[in-house]
Structure 1
Amino acid sequence: MTQPRAALVPASTSASAWSARRGLWAAALPIAAVMILSASTAFESAAPACIALGIFAVIIAVAQGRLDAFHPPDRFGGANVITLFRAAGAALLGGAALAGQVPGPAASWGFALASAALLALDGIDGWLARRSGLASAFGARFDMEVDALTGLALALLVWQMDKAGPWVLALGFMRYAFLGLGWVRPAFAAPLAPSWRRKAVCVAQLAALTLLLAPPIAPPLSSAIAAAALGLLSWSFARDLRRLARR
């Protein structure tokens, strides 16, 4: 869970939402083309690319469905374009993981560098949204869910590379377990106040998973790093669950 990048603002009108949807598609199509080009050079088969494009299509569909109610500006905005680009990167990592192609040393370095670049962009989209006056509930949630998807893709890769046992997948699934708990008990779906602690823990989680992709990091060191990240993330979620339970 990460801190929303800006305060929430009211819902949009249908006209402004239509303009925002056009902006979404105007950004998504060239990003998809870049994904295809990147996949053609990075992967030996078409399976990872096809899976990645499928994931990206789902992201676009979900994002478009939430624009009407949670994105008041009359344009999609550069901050959301950056987040969409990060989503495409997460989709490529997820495509590689779900295709079951364990990367060799050269590919591992490429994945690690790509993940580091996505992590660096994570700090830019929020700043740009606030600076341009286009902060929205949509952008805050979009940013959060892309972080969660990136963490899941990285955890799958780390497990497949034998850097840690299957328990490392908890780093990727904890956010989704939290959402599932909210479905079962609505009290745990209540909004939480912004917290820099969540943002810092999320960055630490993604940074640790990125580091684990590097070939020199091997067991038992890799397992220790993953365990430390999991402990930190569990502590953060436990604090939020305790706060919601007290309400």
Structure 2
Amino acid sequence: MSLLHTDFSRPAPAIARTRAVTSPAWRFAAAALLGAWGVALLATWLMQGDTGATGVATAAYLAACAFVGHRIQRAYPHDALGWCNLVTLARMGMAAALIVPVLDPGVSGWAVIALAVVALSLDGVDGWLARRQNLCSDFGARFDMEVDAALAALLALNALAAGQAGPLVLILGVPHYLFLVSGWMMPWMARPLPQRLGRKAGCVLQIAALIVVQVPAISPTLATLAVGIAVLALAWSFGRDIHWLWRRRAG
């Protein structure tokens, strides 16, 4: 075949294969498999989890990675995965390791606090990296939000299982999921919301309060106060968003 009749609009098979292997989804898969070792290490070394609890935490992490990888293929708009998504993936691994103390409430509260503080400290780093690398996307924002929600839910469950707080603490672990269910039932609540600093501040306060109640031998009064303040902050944040969506429901 002459060069005049060669179709240059399609990449050569070798190039196409190289692009497929280096695509964001494949890079994410490789990082996720490496992260599974990290989750297992955190679960056994820091959380002192037994084989069963470590296996559950690692399996849950891999299942979440499979879902996120699928979403990358469908909704991620960039050719580069970026450090931003790797940081969020690391935070997801830390959240998965917190499954161990939920299954074994005898784990040291200080170990839970140490891991949760690191995960919270990295919140915002992924967004900063995304802006710096020009890799901002709706996918990245949603990935970050879901990791925050999972972290809050697991900390709430751990506080309850360890007897650090009463059932009221569960309110701090479910608002995001209640909002999602409401969106399925009432489509007007599933509309995109504007970016608001108050919403992010409420999330940070929520997780910070959940970290405080992990402190061993915390007084019931202080635990109730921390949970109550965070519940009020979340009620204000979610109430404002619901009001904003309600006023635009017919639009």
Alignment of 1:75 onto 2:80 = yes
Contact 1:16–1:72 under 8 Å retained in 2 = no
Alignment of 1:66 onto 2:105 = no
- How many residues are treated as equivalent by the alignment? 229
AA in 2 matched with 1:102:
P
Contact 1:28–1:60 under 8 Å retained in 2 = yes
Deviation at 1:18, TM superposition (A): 7.0
Deviation at 1:165, TM superposition (A): 1.3
Counterpart Cα distance in 1 of 2:22 and 2:143: 18
Aligned to 2:93: 88
AA in 2 matched with 1:109:
W
Aligned to 1:11: none
AA in 1 matched with 2:52:
A
Aligned to 1:45: 50
Aligned to 1:56: 61
AA in 2 matched with 1:242:
H
Q: How large is the RMSD of aligned CA atoms in angstroms?
A: 1.6
Aligned to 1:103: 106
Counterpart Cα distance in 1 of 2:131 and 2:142: 15
Counterpart Cα distance in 2 of 1:167 and 1:59: 27
Identity %: 38
Aligned to 1:4: none
Deviation at 1:16, TM superposition (A): 7.5
Aligned to 1:121: 122
Contact 1:155–1:209 under 8 Å retained in 2 = yes
AA in 2 matched with 1:155:
A
- Greater relative contact order (Cα 8 A, min sep 6): structure 1 or 2? 1
Give 3-state SS (helix, strand or coil) of 1:220's partner: helix
Q: How does 1:161-172 map to 2 (within 5 A)?
A: 161-172=162-173
AA in 2 matched with 1:220:
T
Counterpart Cα distance in 2 of 1:219 and 1:127: 37
Counterpart Cα distance in 2 of 1:37 and 1:221: 33
> Could you give the per-residue CA deviations for residues 18-59 of structure 1, whole angstroms, max 9, x where no partner exists?
701111012111111111122222324222211211221221
Aligned to 2:180: 179
AA in 1 matched with 2:24:
A
- TM-score normalised per structure 1: 0.88
Deviation at 1:218, TM superposition (A): 2.6
* More moved, 166-175 vs 189-198: 166-175
Counterpart Cα distance in 1 of 2:208 and 2:20: 37
Q: How does 1:1-247 map to 2 (within 5 A)?
A: 19-41=23-45, 42-97=47-102, 99=103, 101-104=104-107, 107-247=108-248
Deviation at 1:246, TM superposition (A): 1.1
Query: Max radius of gyration: which structure?
Result: 2
AA in 1 matched with 2:234:
L
Contact 1:50–1:95 under 8 Å retained in 2 = no
Give 3-state SS (helix, strand or coil) of 1:122's partner: coil
Unmatched 5+ stretches in structure 1: 1-14
Deviation at 1:236, TM superposition (A): 0.8
Contact 2:43–2:100 under 8 Å retained in 1 = no
Counterpart Cα distance in 1 of 2:218 and 2:124: 25
Counterpart Cα distance in 2 of 1:197 and 1:245: 19
Counterpart Cα distance in 1 of 2:121 and 2:203: 13
Summarize the Cα distance change of 1:83–1:17 in structure 2 as closer, same or farther, 3 Å threshold. Answer: farther
Contact 1:16–1:74 under 8 Å retained in 2 = no
Deviation at 1:70, TM superposition (A): 2.2
Give 3-state SS (helix, strand or coil) of 2:213's partner: helix
